[in-house]
Amino acid sequence: MGSLVHQLLNEAPIAEVQELASKVLESNYDFFLCSIPSLRKIEIFDYTAYSDVDASALRKGTYTPYKLTAEEQVMLDTMRAAGQEKIALKIIKQNHSKKRNRSRNGQLWTWTCKLPINLERYQIFNELNAETAKKMMKDSCFIYACIQAGVDEATINHMREIIRVKDFPMSKIKVIAKETGIRFHVIKYNEKYSNHSYTYEPDEEPKMTVELLLMYDHYMLNEKLPISSMFIKNYEDVCKLCKDWTLEKKMLVNRRYETRYAINSKLVTPLAKVIEL
């Protein structure tokens, strides 16, 4: 401690008054540093604020800690109370990793649906708890989507043998197509430009086609839903004026008059648009 304070004082990061104060700390410790070859920067952070920090990575200097957002902290607290802290930390780490490096990999969906609509078919849930965590972790989003598409159990089990991790490269779909006889048509969502389309064909005549949407690194069935953009954008107002309607009817509103809404029973919206809104 004494040698550290001495070098800090000589290199001017601290003033003499701070040096004197440090002696109070030094008197309570029975150790000292022998030498510091080169001091350029000392950085101190609150370890408890970075719940996913790996101490070994920190010691090696291979980890840059990031602070949890308010939403991530709420999720972590909720999942910790349900005994699913490890899953929450994995989701948080994955979310931050995606911000640094966009890819075409299939990963866990990291947000919840705030409206009272059921999107579990797409592995999107209204809340994170022990039950939904199990559904998220049992299979990768790609396999989950194939199950929802009606792929038979034997083929699903074979897919699980091919895809042993939750995060896998898009090129793996080509292998799956050839080994399962399924055609996969994937639309990769792009929020800034037009979407990209990829088709993976088996060697022989396909026994079925699975339409997929890859959005924010998450595979889902590419479907249209009986829900309007007006319902999503004006949810509270729709509930206020149409309080006696069923949820399914409210979801179809497409026109607003002075004191009421009108519906279109044939209205559908692409899943990507629903999520985007």
- Residue-wise pLDDT for 97-141, tens only, equals 544 433 344 444 556 788 889 999 998 888 877 777 777 778 888
For residue 188, give its domain range: 139-222
Q: Is residue 70 part of a domain?
A: no
Instruction: Identify whether 88 is part of a domain.
Output: no
How sure is the predictor about 4, in pLDDT bands with cuts at 50, 70 and 90?
low
**Is 56 within the bounds of a domain?**
yes
pLDDT for 178-235, tens place per residue? 999 999 999 998 877 678 899 999 999 999 999 999 988 889 999 999 999 999 999 9
Provide the number of structural domains found in the chain.
3
Q: Does some domain include residue 183?
A: yes
- Does the residue 97 lie in any domain? no
Residues 190 and 238 in one domain: no
CB 26 within 8 A of CB 1: yes
Considering the domain architecture, whether residues 216 and 160 belong to the same structural domain is answered as: yes
At 36 the pLDDT is: 56
Residue 117 inside a domain? The answer is: no
What's the pLDDT band for 46 if we cut at 50, 70, 90?
A: low
Pairing, β 208-215 against β 182-188:
parallel
Averaging pLDDT over each range in 96-100, 159-163, 169-173, 178-182, which range is the top one?
Answer: 178-182
Per-residue pLDDT, averaged over 34-43, amounts to 59
Domain closes at, from 60, 75, 107: 60
Out of 19, 42, 60, a domain closes at 60
Claim to verify: residue 218 and residue 229 sit in the same structural domain? no
Give a yes or no: residue 82 inside a domain: no
